[in-house]
């Protein structure tokens, strides 16, 4: 077994273990492999192991890798989106985790229509309030969900957040629990369904799963010790 295969199996097992610990059904959490900065050969090795969805955070890298990988890969865009890159992201990514304002949401919707695409999007929320983090404020979520309900091409499937890297378990649970509560409230206030929560990375995905994550975005734990 290669180091990459071993790491992938270990992370998959840890995701299952966290599902069980949380009393959640098997396969209720999707493991998204975050392949940003990793060379193509490692994505190809993962593809051969059955991985079909990859997360990228820079548009040029997404474009390069998408052109070189098989067509059945579903690309997730997880990075900050500059307005002038929206069209390129829409052309390649089926799922966008980082829509951080109503303005961008509407622009995504218009361009998706022009390009004949219907991407799934997450509204990114800055729960921790860290200045270095992207995302809308918790107070902006309801208005954004209402705006998303009127979109014709993008489909808003839920909320996304990033926790501070150095946070302890208690703070992580507070942040992830807040995102879940925001989702629950927005569903009630807007009368819509937001089934997905994209939260949890290499250092904190068990806590995110305990709080209801449906997608965890894991990079460094999968590529640890793998020669580039």
Ligand X SMILES: *Cc1c(COP(=O)(O)O)cnc(C)c1O
Kindly give the interhelix angle for 59-68 and 40-48, rounded to the nearest 10 degrees. 50
Provide, rounded to whole angstroms, the least separation between the CB of residue 29 and ligand X: 14
DSSP state, residue 167: -
Exposure string of 142-159, with b = 16+ CB inside 10 Å and e = fewer, is eebbebbeebebbebbbb
Provide, rounded to whole angstroms, the least separation between the CB of residue 216 and ligand X: 8
Q: What share of the chain is helix, strand, coil (3-state, %, to 5)?
A: 45, 20, 35
Provide, rounded to whole angstroms, the least separation between the CB of residue 202 and ligand X: 3
Contact flag: residue 220 with ligand X (CB under 6 A)? yes
Residue with tokens 């193509």: 40
Token pair listed for 190: 């807007």
Please pick, from the candidates 4, 15, 43, 57, the single residue that binds ligand X as defined by CB under 6 A.
57
Contact flag: residue 34 with ligand X (CB under 6 A)? yes
Contact flag: residue 199 with ligand X (CB under 6 A)? no
Provide, rounded to whole angstroms, the least separation between the CB of residue 34 and ligand X: 4
Please pick, from the candidates 22, 162, 179, 190, the single residue that binds ligand X as defined by CB under 6 A.
162
Contact flag: residue 201 with ligand X (CB under 6 A)? yes
Contact flag: residue 76 with ligand X (CB under 6 A)? no
């Amino acid at each position: 077994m290669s180091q990459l295969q071993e790491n992938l199996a270990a992370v998959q097992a840890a995701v299952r273990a966290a599902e069980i610990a949380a009393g959640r059904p098997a396969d209720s959490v999707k493991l998204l492999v975050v392949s940003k900065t990793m060379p193509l050969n490692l994505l190809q090795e993962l593809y051969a192991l059955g991985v079909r969805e990859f997360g990228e955070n820079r548009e040029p890298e997404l474009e390069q890798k998408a052109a070189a990988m098989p067509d059945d890969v579903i690309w997730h865009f997880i990075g900050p989106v500059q307005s002038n890159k929206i069209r390129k992201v829409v052309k390649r990514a089926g799922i966008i985790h980082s829509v951080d304002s109503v303005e961008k949401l509407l622009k995504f919707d218009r361009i998706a229509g022009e390009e004949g695409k219907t991407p799934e999007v997450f509204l990114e929320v800055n729960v921790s309030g860290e200045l270095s983090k992207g995302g809308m404020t918790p107070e902006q979520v309801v208005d954004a969900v209402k705006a998303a309900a009127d979109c014709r091409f993008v489909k808003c499937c839920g909320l996304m957040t990033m926790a501070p890297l150095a946070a302890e378990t208690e703070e992580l649970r507070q942040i992830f629990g807040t995102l879940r509560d925001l989702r629950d409230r927005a569903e009630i206030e807007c009368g819509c369904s937001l089934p997905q929560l994209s939260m949890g990375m290499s250092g904190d995905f068990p806590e995110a799963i305990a709080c209801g994550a449906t997608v965890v975005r894991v990079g460094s734990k999968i590529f640890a010790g793998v020669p580039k």
